[in-house]
Amino acid sequence: MGNLCTCFSPKTPVKTKKPAKSLQGNSQTGPNSSNRWTRIRSTRKDTHDAMIHEQALAAAILFRQHQQQNGSDSGSFPFDRSVSLRYPNGSGSKKTQLPRSSSSRARSLTDPLLQPQQLVNRDIKLDDLETNHFVLVHGGGFGAWCWYKTIALLEEGGFKVTAIDLAGSGIDSFDTNGITSLSQYVKPLTDFLEKLADGEKTILVGHDFGGACISYAMELFPLKVSKAIFVAAAMLTNGQSTLNMFSQKAGSSDLMQQAQIFVYSNGNNHPPTAINLDKSLLRDLLFNQSPSKDVALASVSMRSIPFAPVLEKLSLSDIKYGTVRRFYIETSEDNAIPITLQESMINSSPPEKVFRLKGADHSPFFSKPQALHKLLVDISKIPST
């Protein structure tokens, strides 16, 4: 916000020059002595107008090429939400691309710039899938907002997408400090699944602590979950809590321990009610490979993590939870749930298949949105065995 003292301190007097005498009507003024400031302003204006004219002409040419290639006089360029770049008909030529967004981050080769229609197999018929409905469940402190790139890419590919705000998260108004159980925290998800029609199935996607949340929902509604995808998520075993999972690998994420700020809304003599994350450590912990604009979004959108659900042990059975097909997506540059901890969970409860996002931090929906999208679509196409 700046230094308030500076704002209210007396302003330093500024010396002003006396107005120059007008040269108009001066008999001593030569015929070539025009006002040099007027001349400079005029030159700058002409240059600026010329640049605008050239840019407008270039845009018009690109627009006309787009119309001709599509055989139509209407329409707009495909827009890739994840990087704010426009290309006519997916052309990535340096000569024709329009200016980039404010993000100066170089795109990784592991997350190539592709249009949504390129990421989804054009031969795929969504009606042939067991379900084309993705339900996205955020991690601790996040909200449905964190999936904005994934939502856009999936919807543009024809999929149905629902992003859930768990209790006390995102725009949900519940006080995080008042959440006393996992069932209470996951209620927005379980309410949604309960209202689905009989026979209607979904693909649950859980990130971070959202992994424990979708596991809880899988135990309650196994017939409404076609597949479960854990993205850098807590994939627990029966009788295990998220806290147990982290404690098994003590020291695996020292940065996480440094970032945690416990909230004691019931007093210091009682257990913590929530956990905040030190905003000065957010980038290093969660977004070490993500664009700055997404880090800024997270820094103003993240909320407290309820503490009680983290302590709660899951009750998972083979006849319910065990019947749902599980898939895991590893994130190789993760500082919150390191790859060693992810592999430990995978070995303890092996899923059907494991995928790895190279160069992805703990938030691949920001750092590797295109690659994450492709994996989600690929998993949706895996047929039943």
Please report the pLDDT score of residue 19 as a whole number: 44
Amino acid at 91: S
Please report the pLDDT score of residue 128 as a whole number: 73
Mean pLDDT by 10 residues, the chain (385 residues): 39 42 42 45 51 58 51 41 32 40 44 50 67 96 98 96 97 95 98 95 97 98 97 97 78 77 95 95 96 96 97 97 98 95 96 97 98 97 86
Please report the pLDDT score of residue 27 as a whole number: 40
The answer to whether 373 is a known catalytic residue is no
Please report the pLDDT score of residue 73 as a whole number: 43
The answer to whether 284 is a known catalytic residue is no
Regarding pTM above 0.95, the answer is: no
Provide the token pair at 248.
Answer: 């098994």
The answer to whether 362 is a known catalytic residue is yes
Please report the pLDDT score of residue 108 as a whole number: 47
HEC string for the chain: CCCHHHHHCCCCCCCCCCCCCCCCCCCCCCCCCCCHHHHHHHHHHHHHHHHHHHHHHHHHHHHHHHHHHHCCCCCCCCEECCCCEECHHHCCCCCCCCCCCCCCCCCCCCCCCCCHHHHCCCCCCHHHCCCCEEEEECCCCCCHHHHHHHHHHHHHCCCEEEEECCCCCCCCCCCHHHCCCHHHHHHHHHHHHHHCCCCCCEEEEEECCHHHHHHHHHHHCHHHEEEEEEECCCCCCCCCCHHHHHHHCCCCCHHHHHHEEEECCCCCCCCCCEEEECHHHHHHHHCCCCCHHHHHHHHHHCCCEECHHHHCCCCCCCCCHHHCEEEEEEECCCCCCCHHHHHHHHHHCCCCEEEEECCCCCCHHHHCHHHHHHHHHHHHHCCCC
Q: Which of 111, 208, 294, 361 is catalytic?
A: 208
Which of 111, 86, 82 lies closest to 291 in space, CA to CA?
82
Q: Which of 66, 138, 362, 373 is catalytic?
A: 362
Q: Which of 80, 111, 294, 334 is catalytic?
A: 334
CB-CB contact of 282 with 299 (8 Å): yes
